[in-house]
Chain A
Amino acid sequence: MTKIRLYLLLSIACVAGYAWIGVQLYQDRFTDTPINACIVKHVTGIPCPSCGSTRSVLSILKGDFWNAAWWNPFGFLITIILLVVPVWLTVDYRSNRSSLFEFYLHAEAFLQRKYVAAFAILIVIANWIWNINKGL
């Protein structure tokens, strides 16, 4: 992973994320048919670990944090990423540094530690089971 590739990917992801939220807000206001993007849910009928995170982000936008946590706690992670990454990218770009890239490498190394990885996997699986139980 090179710095330029990571920054390009993050920029595309942020633009796509904001565009997606925009589409959802538009759809929320003007139409009734919900847009469902998840391939896993379309193919298998079972929600995936991140199903509901769009609804969670939309709940956060409305200030309804309890509902957001109920839909999917990953929504908080996504909101933080969507808020922090564009600012961080701009700061790095303006000051010609690579602090975000260094942070990414450190975070990756941290997550690859055995116990951290096991804990993270457990959380994801627990959240997935909860998602299936909720029937998102």
Chain B
Amino acid sequence: MDSQKVDMFIMANGKFFESHHVMQIRDRLLAVDDSKWGMIQTLQFKDPTTSLIVSLLAGSLGIDRFMIGDTGLGIGKLITCGGFGIWAIIDWFMIMGATREKNIAKLQQYL
């Protein structure tokens, strides 16, 4: 793919991925066929900041985990009062990274 398009994608979506993944994503995108550009450009990613807000407000109900698609973990958090409150606090620090991992998994499906 055109390096200009790839840089445009990175600029627009860089905040959705872990910093150590960005270079890897760039290399993979450069190797990908141009016909995939339309699809990759329209992919919607989850915003880590939004999941952090949800985690702060409703973390002990597991809604942050449900939101990023970890339904099993969400139920685990819900039926244990947020893991006795401990897991809920741990997730305030983990949820942004978890969201970025989910985003890269989603992108990898299309690469």
B61-80 CB contacts (< 8 Å) to partner A = 61, 69-73, 75-76, 78-80
Please, how many angstroms separate the alpha-carbon atoms of A77 and B75 in the complex? 11
The residue in B70, B72, B73, B76 that gathers the most chain A C-beta atoms within 10 A of its C-beta is: B72
Please, how many angstroms separate the alpha-carbon atoms of A17 and B61 in the complex? 18
Cβ of A4 within 8 Å of any chain B Cβ, yes or no, is: no
Please, how many angstroms separate the alpha-carbon atoms of A131 and B7 in the complex? 52
* Count of A interface residues, CB-CB < 8 Å: 25
Closest to A20 in B: B84
| Of A58-66, A87-95, A107-115, the one with at least 4 CB within 8 A of chain B | A107-115
Residue pair B72, A50 in contact (C-beta under 8 Å): no
B12 smallest CB distance to A (angstroms): 28
Cβ of B48 within 8 Å of any chain A Cβ, yes or no, is: no
A73 smallest CB distance to B (angstroms): 11
Residue pair A111, B81 in contact (C-beta under 8 Å): no
Please, how many angstroms separate the alpha-carbon atoms of A61 and B83 in the complex? 21
Known contacts A39-B82, A50-B80; is-contact A111 B60 (Cβ 8 Å): no
A2-46 CB contacts (< 8 Å) to partner B = 6, 9, 13, 16-17, 20, 37-40
A8 smallest CB distance to B (angstroms): 13
Cβ of B88 within 8 Å of any chain A Cβ, yes or no, is: yes
Please, how many angstroms separate the alpha-carbon atoms of A104 and B73 in the complex? 10
Residue pair A39, B71 in contact (C-beta under 8 Å): no
Residue pair B85, A49 in contact (C-beta under 8 Å): no
Q: Which of B61, B72, B84 contacts A104 (CB 8 A)?
A: B72
Cβ of A48 within 8 Å of any chain B Cβ, yes or no, is: yes
Q: Which of A9, A49, A112 contacts B78 (CB 8 A)?
A: A49
Q: A74 contacts which chain B residues (CB < 8 A)?
A: 79
Cβ of A69 within 8 Å of any chain B Cβ, yes or no, is: no
Q: A40 contacts which chain B residues (CB < 8 A)?
A: 60-61, 81-82
Q: A78 contacts which chain B residues (CB < 8 A)?
A: 79-80
Please, how many angstroms separate the alpha-carbon atoms of A51 and B83 in the complex? 12
Q: Which of A1, A16, A48, A112 contacts B81 (CB 8 A)?
A: A48
0/1 interface trace, chain A 64-83, chain B, CB 8 Å (1 if under): 00000000001001100000
Please, how many angstroms separate the alpha-carbon atoms of A45 and B21 in the complex? 43
Report 14 cross-chain contacts, Cβ distance below 8 Å, ordered by A residue.
A13-B80, A16-B83, A16-B84, A17-B80, A37-B84, A38-B60, A38-B81, A38-B85, A39-B88, A40-B61, A40-B81, A53-B80, A111-B75, A124-B78
